[in-house]
Amino acid sequence: MTTSIRDASVSLQNILTQRLGADPDVLASLPPGATLTVSIRSPDEMLNTPEQGISLWLYKVTRDEHLNNCPPRRVSNARHRPPPLPLRLHYLLTPVLELDTGLSAPEFEHTVLGKALQLFAEEPVLRGAALVGALRSEVSQITVRLETLTTEEITRIWDALESNYKLSVSYEVTVIPVDVRSEIVSGPPVAILANEYGTAYAEGPA
């Protein structure tokens, strides 16, 4: 499941495109004849394209500590495989509209953010046909949660982008397992013996 991060991004990209791309309020806030694009580029990268819509930028990946202690999986009598690496994905969702369109950027931003917030409030869990790639067959669901950032965290994100702040929200997506390829080889059992003096020692293969 090494493609799980990509598949999660595409799953989110698809549902935003399907739901918001056909929304009459969103379309009314776009230039005439334009369509809504949901891009996984950063906001500034998207501004350098003709695309109008939403930047869904993955800005941080963290380990899910709550699921990090799962036991290894047995693949044979002598081999175990470490459990998939549980991850939390953090996305910055930013409306992007070219300034030379003559339309109201604040109106567009407010409309798009309101629709996105409504979508994931009503459907915080994606499963089945809403997932793509390996996620559909190997992960039962992913959860999308609005994430509250402090002013300091927001500042760090936009400083890293070397860009001026834009109206945006952060979402945390869980759980995206990434398979660990290595296997643990189990050795033969070790016998614990005692000599005539009662001293215990281990006996294993030479």
Query: What's the one-letter identity of residue 125?
Result: V
Residues 6+ positions from 78 with CB-CB distance below 8 Å: 185, 186
Taking a C-beta distance cutoff of 8 angstroms, is the pair 55, 39 a contact?
Answer: yes
Query: What's the one-letter identity of residue 146?
Result: L
User: What is the C-alpha separation between 147 and 83, in angstroms, rounded?
Assistant: 27
Structure-model confidence comparison of residues 80 and 60, the more confident one: 60
Q: What is the pLDDT of residues 96-117, one digit of tens each?
A: 987 665 556 888 999 999 999 9
Q: What is the pLDDT of residues 18-28, one digit of tens each?
A: 999 999 999 99
Question: pTM for the whole thing?
Answer: 0.77
